[in-house]
Amino acid sequence: MRTIDLIFSGVYLTVLLIAFTQIGDLREISAASFTSAKLFPQLVLGLGLVMGVIETLRTLFLPSPADEGIGFRQTLAMTFRPRRMLLLALFVIYLAAIKPLGFLIATGIFCFATIALLTPRVTPVSLVIAALVSVCTLALIYQLLVVYLQAFLP
Amino acid sequence: MYDLMLQGAAHVFQPWTLFAIFCGVTGGLVIGSIPGLTSTMAIALMVPLTYAMEIEFAIPLLMGVYCGAISGGLVGAILLNIPGTPASAGTCLDGYPMAAKGQATRALGLAVYSSMIGGVLSGLALVLIAPTLAKVALSFGPWEYFALVVFTFTCISAMSSKGRAVKAFMAAFIGLALALVGLDEASGQTRLTFGFTAFESGFYELPALIGLYAIPQLLADTDDIGRSATMIKINYKLREFMGTFREVMSRKRDLGRSTFLGIVIGILPGVGPGLSNIVAYSQAKRASSQPEKFGTGELPESVMSPEAANNASMGGALIPMLTLGIPGDASTLMMLGAFMLHGIDPGPLLFRDHGDIVWVVFIAFFVAFAFCTLVYHFFIPLTVKAISVPRQYVIPVLLILCTVGCYALNNRMFDVYCFLGFGLLGYFLHIARVPVLPVILGLILGPMAEEQLSLALAFGQGSVLPFVTRPISGTILLISILSLVLPPILGRRRRRKAVEPA
Amino acid sequence: MKFSSYALAAAVSALAATSALAFPDKPIELVVPFSPGGGSDVSARVFAQCLEGQIDQKVLIKNIEGARGKIGEVEVRDARPDGYKLLWAHQGMDMGLATGRSDYNYTAFKPVASTVAMNYGIFAGANSGIDGVESLKSKVSENPGSYTIGTALNGFSHFAALDFLEQAGVSVDDVRTIPMSGDKNRIVAAIQGNLTLVPTAVGAAAPYVDSGDMKPVAVLSADRDPRLGDAQTGQEQGADSQFAMYFTTYAPKDTPQEAIDTLADAWIAAAEDPACQEKLGKQSMTVVPAKGTELDDVLAKRYARIEELADKFNLTSEGN
């Protein structure tokens, strides 16, 4: 887990440092001389950076705790499991498709495709169930939000 | 006073009004318990609908939705590990592990009964000492608020597992840094938007909350597809569910402490249930004789404390709204709008000018909780059944509902993209084994801390002394420092004592 | 071929004619760039109720908040200009350009009609001892620098406060400006005694004036506000500051003129309906109807004043 910890610290420090340099561009409020527009952001980001440095040093120099359960490779393999990545990819495509296709069509296709692709063994019956679930979801959303609550759909 | 109370009761105990409360509670429960559809959304959508109704009818209906939706959040938190509101984020910590052990009924029972008790006690506080409590709320200036934020921040240390406290604080700083994005309300300039207009609004906490919890959880859930053996096996028995009531009553100290914290935090305008559940959880852990068992889902009080506190905050949040006209959280802000549209100004004169309406609110609050408890006994078995539906059907439907829910909050696709972005962040943190709750806390606390700090400095003409010299803020800050410093020292001493006899 | 293209052109023009006649043939979205329950939202919803009967289609309120209204404004600005997506904005939009926060003002839109107005006022905490322009002037000249005014910097309350202080002849340097946003936050701070002066909508402050927690200093309108009949206007006290919040409905820039005319007629008819005025009066809102060229003049005049204030108090120079 040490490698993961170090990667986390690295990303964290980089992001906070970028933010910190950006804050320097803020201008001061002239009307209120007692407060500064930079004070709070710099306080927060500075403290955050200190935390990050402490944790990085701790991971580097202190012996890591005993629960060395899973190794780095295993964690990576778990992170990028095909099913997880498939779901994520489908969801990203779905969000991108809402605008061009319209919400109801995109949702129907997404729901059907996800169920069909995630089901371990695709059979005609599972496809019928997928279609049924998609239709029911759409009906529920439409009925609840549009008819009862008069909300807007994307 | 009594004739006003009777008048109020007469308004509420009309068959149609009761029916409205019942529908509000049921609808609120359903929406609140579905991850992605949040209580804020339910109320935001309901309030405009009540504009056309009579006020004696609209207020009870809204109270029903309010009670139902906020307490409904516990179902998603316990069964799916996806809280519907920040108010039930603390419930995830122990509720989900307990459910994962096959004790879902126990976890739900504990949460339901303790939240009902917390709610009713806060309702009593609302009725009996609202004006006094309102004075307490008014004595909180920016110094006290800032001290409270610092205190809540120190609670993070109590919520992380051993040796990972620094990681939890780092997560909180991620939240604080993200909260900086957008328009700086005080100075009116934009920060960290990198030139994108869409970022100027900043990130809203609800898409962030749903994204951080739902996406990592749903991605991880795909591993369970086709493996029926790992499914949570739940045998629901009504007797077992009712039996937890006795377990709840056996922890009166925790119940009392959490309710008290919930009410006190709830009456402070702008703070609300989102923080109280976390504070109550950490205080229960500090007071506990077995703090190491928190987070494992074994102890009843670890599920009860956050739930009792968040429902207690609901009654608390109504106090400043009714007596001062100041909203306690996003939901009461919208209810305030409903009052105003009906030509009633909540504020210092509400009790004098519209005493009957005040009583309508009070009585509707209790009736709503009664219905809520009742409905839960029929509703829980349904939700427990829903959990054993194969994952491949649940996952896409929940993702769609989250999308709709995030969009409906502010009618913007940007929030849906935020949901995805925070989901990826949450997944990264999940892999790095960093808790996500502090991120949410940072996101909620950040703007508040900033506003109150700059106000305190502006009022005090740049001096930081009032933070220490004002009695309430000084005390809170002292407790915060002690709570950070003491536990490690005491823990070391306890460990030494434990070692010595051996 | 010639015949068919002629027929096609005829068909298209006929279609265009019917669609122009039929406007509106679906519900109209009115975007309120602030959260539900706030002053903008309440005014829009009450007015939308008034519009029923004046226009054949429903007018639906859509809240898109964020960045002091900018998110909702940009949404409408970039929307398809068909007259079905409108914006309900006040002068806060123009202040964005005047202070360099945004790069557009009302001229990026086509104004439909100005209808609802919310009176604004300057109030003081009851324990400050200030109850009018005279006492404010004398107190400030006795102790310059010990009184405070809370405003959202570069926002509506800031401009209203500056307009008032300038007309009252109080130097801005003698009153400390505290940056704070939100009517309610300012009111609470004034009741607590941490803040002296609060610029806020009259309707928001009225309950606290009734209960004696706050004192009106001046109402920034030509006539007294119906909700607070005893509160004197600035004009009556020699400080001729008139700075109400005017809600104007805007459409995207390229919206066809016929659609604008149809909408404007309905808007004005609704605003002039006495039943509607009574409904708005309950929310302590008044009606100042204006459309067409008259509206253009009014908007230009309001913007000129905003720019003048921004220049005078140096709000622009730090903008870029």
Q: What is the ipTM of this complex?
A: 0.87
DSSP B274-334: HHHHHHHHHHHHHH-S-GGGTTTT--HHHHHHHHHHHHHHHHHHHHHHHHHS--SSHHHHH
From A39's Cα to the closest Cα of chain C, the distance in A is 14
pLDDT at A67 over 60: no
Report the alpha-carbon angle B406-B411-B414, nearest 5.
65
Name all contacts of A9-15 with Cβ < 8 Å and 24+ positions apart: A9/A52, A9/A55, A9/A56, A9/A59, A9/B170, A10/A56, A11/B428, A12/A52, A12/B170, A12/B174, A13/A49, A13/A52, A13/A53, A13/A56, A15/B174, A15/B177
Report the C-alpha gap between C306 and C99 in whole angstroms.
Answer: 9
DSSP C271-303: HH-HHHHHHHHHTTEEEEEEEHHHHHHHHHHHH
Q: Which chain C positions have a beta carbon within 8 Å of A35's beta carbon?
A: 179
Report the alpha-carbon angle B344-B348-B352, nearest 5.
70
* Residue of C99, C176, C189 lying closest to B188 (CB–CB): C99
CB contact under 8 A, A88 and B411: no
CA torsion angle C158 C162 C168 C170 (round to 10): 100
Fold of C24-118+245-312: D-Maltodextrin-Binding Protein; domain 2 (3.40.190)
Report the C-alpha gap between B188 and C71 in whole angstroms.
Answer: 15
Residue A25 sits at the chain C interface (C-beta within 8 Å): no
Please say whether the beta carbons of B411 and C63 come within 8 A: yes
Residue B320 sits at the chain C interface (C-beta within 8 Å): no
Strands C285-291 and C109-118, by their bridges, are antiparallel
Residue B432: closest CA among chain A residues belongs to which residue? A4
Residue B195 sits at the chain A interface (C-beta within 8 Å): no
- A-C contacts at Cβ under 8 angstroms: 19
Tell me phi and psi for residue A71, to 5 degrees: -85, 175
CB contact under 8 A, B407 and A91: no
CB contact under 8 A, A152 and C178: no
* Distance from the Cα of residue B494 to its chain's centroid: 34
* Residue of B139, B187, B327 lying closest to C153 (CB–CB): B187
Please say whether the beta carbons of C61 and C32 come within 8 A: yes
- Chain B neighbours (≥3 Cβ pairs under 8 A) are A, C
Q: Which chain A positions have a beta carbon within 8 Å of C176's beta carbon?
A: 32
CB contact under 8 A, A29 and B413: no
Using pLDDT thresholds of 50, 70 and 90, give the confidence band for residue A29. Answer: low
Report the C-alpha gap between C153 and B299 in whole angstroms.
Answer: 50
Report the C-alpha gap between B175 and B217 in whole angstroms.
Answer: 19
Residue A29 sits at the chain C interface (C-beta within 8 Å): yes
Q: Which chain C positions have a beta carbon within 8 Å of B201's beta carbon?
A: 65-67, 70-71
From B315's Cα to the closest Cα of chain A, the distance in A is 25
* Residue of A27, A28, A31 lying closest to C177 (CB–CB): A31
The residues facing C111 across adjacent strands are C250
Is the residue at B105 inside a domain?
A: yes
* Distance from the Cα of residue B363 to its chain's centroid: 23
Is the residue at B18 inside a domain?
A: yes
Mean pLDDT taken over chain C: 81
Q: Domain limits of chain A?
A: 2-79, 82-148
Q: Which of C159, C177, C317 to mutate to test the interface with A (most CBs of A within 10 A)?
A: C177
Please say whether the beta carbons of B394 and A87 come within 8 A: no
Residue C72: closest CA among chain B residues belongs to which residue? B412
CB contact under 8 A, C153 and A152: no
Residue A147 sits at the chain C interface (C-beta within 8 Å): no
Fold of C120-237: D-Maltodextrin-Binding Protein; domain 2 (3.40.190)
Report the C-alpha gap between B280 and B286 in whole angstroms.
Answer: 10
The residues near C290 (Cβ < 8 Å, ≥ 6 apart) are: C113, C114, C298
Question: What are the distances in angstroms from CA C288 to CA B190, C38, C113, C271, C280?
Answer: 34, 20, 10, 8, 12
Report the C-alpha gap between B222 and C87 in whole angstroms.
Answer: 44
* Residue of A27, A31, A152 lying closest to C62 (CB–CB): A152
CB contacts under 8 A, B 279-308 vs C, are: none
Tell me phi and psi for residue B371, to 5 degrees: -60, -40
* Residue of A81, A87, A107 lying closest to B400 (CB–CB): A107
Report the alpha-carbon angle B210-B213-B218, nearest 5.
105
Is the residue at B219 inside a domain?
A: no
Token code pair at residue B211? 């994204």
CB contact under 8 A, A29 and C178: no
Report the C-alpha gap between B452 and B470 in whole angstroms.
Answer: 15
* Element at B189 (helix H, strand E): strand B189-191
Q: Which chain B positions have a beta carbon within 8 Å of A16's beta carbon?
A: 173, 177
Report the alpha-carbon angle B75-C63-C187, nearest 5.
90
* pLDDT confidence of residue B425: 92
Question: What are the distances in angstroms from CA C113 to CA C89, C96, C251, C301, C313?
Answer: 11, 21, 10, 15, 30
Indicate the burial class of A139 (C-beta count within 10 angstroms; 0-12, 13-18, 19 or more): exposed
CB contact under 8 A, B459 and C41: no
CB contact under 8 A, C318 and A32: no
Residue C80 identity? R
Please say whether the beta carbons of B307 and B78 come within 8 A: no
Range of the domain at B105: 1-138+264-392
Q: Which of C208, C284, C317, C318 to mutate to test the interface with B (most CBs of B within 10 A)?
A: C208
CB count within 10 Å of CB C236 equals 15
Q: Which chain C positions have a beta carbon within 8 Å of A150's beta carbon?
A: 60
Q: How many domains does chain B have?
A: 1
Q: Where are the beta strands (DSSP E) in A14-148?
A: none
Question: What are the distances in angstroms from CA B28 to CA A153, B65, B241, C62?
Answer: 20, 5, 21, 22
Q: Domain limits of chain C?
A: 24-118+245-312, 120-237
CA torsion angle C282 C285 C288 C290 (round to 10): -100
Say whether the peptide bond before residue C24 is cis (omega within 30 degrees of 0).
yes
Runs of H (alpha helix) within B411-470: 413-431, 437-459, 465-469
CB contact under 8 A, C179 and A30: no
* Residue of A16, A35, A81 lying closest to B177 (CB–CB): A16
Question: What are the distances in angstroms from CA C140 to CA C145, C158, C310?
Answer: 8, 19, 23
* pLDDT confidence of residue A27: 64
* Residue of B219, B225, B453 lying closest to A120 (CB–CB): B225
CB contacts under 8 A, C 50-89 vs B, are: 61-68, 70-71, 74-75
- Which tens digit of pLDDT belongs to each residue from B45-59? 888 778 778 888 888
Q: Which chain B positions have a beta carbon within 8 Å of C194's beta carbon?
A: 141-142, 459
From B270's Cα to the closest Cα of chain C, the distance in A is 10
CB contact under 8 A, C194 and B459: yes
Using pLDDT thresholds of 50, 70 and 90, give the confidence band for residue C11. Answer: very low
Using pLDDT thresholds of 50, 70 and 90, give the confidence band for residue C10. Answer: very low
- Chain C neighbours (≥3 Cβ pairs under 8 A) are A, B
Token code pair at residue B357? 């309406």
Q: Which chain A positions have a beta carbon within 8 Å of C179's beta carbon?
A: 29, 31-32, 35
* Element at B183 (helix H, strand E): strand B182-184
Residues in chain C: 320
Reference A48, options A11, A102, A87; nearest CA is: A11
From A30's Cα to the closest Cα of chain B, the distance in A is 9
A102-133 burial: b if 16+ Cβ within 10 Å, else e: ebeebbbbbbbbbbbebbeeeeeebeebbeeb
CB contact under 8 A, C153 and A30: no
Using pLDDT thresholds of 50, 70 and 90, give the confidence band for residue C15. Answer: very low
Please say whether the beta carbons of C178 and B455 come within 8 A: yes
Report the C-alpha gap between B452 and B147 in whole angstroms.
Answer: 9
CB contacts under 8 A, C 134-163 vs B, are: 148, 152-155
* List of chain B residues with pLDDT < 70: 1, 161-163, 186-188, 226-237, 270, 328, 487-488, 490-502
Q: Where are the beta strands (DSSP E) in chain C?
A: 28-32, 59-63, 85-89, 109-118, 120-125, 147-151, 175-179, 197-201, 214-219, 245-252, 285-291
Strands B189-191 and B182-184, by their bridges, are antiparallel
- Which tens digit of pLDDT belongs to each residue from B146-165? 888 888 888 887 777 666 77
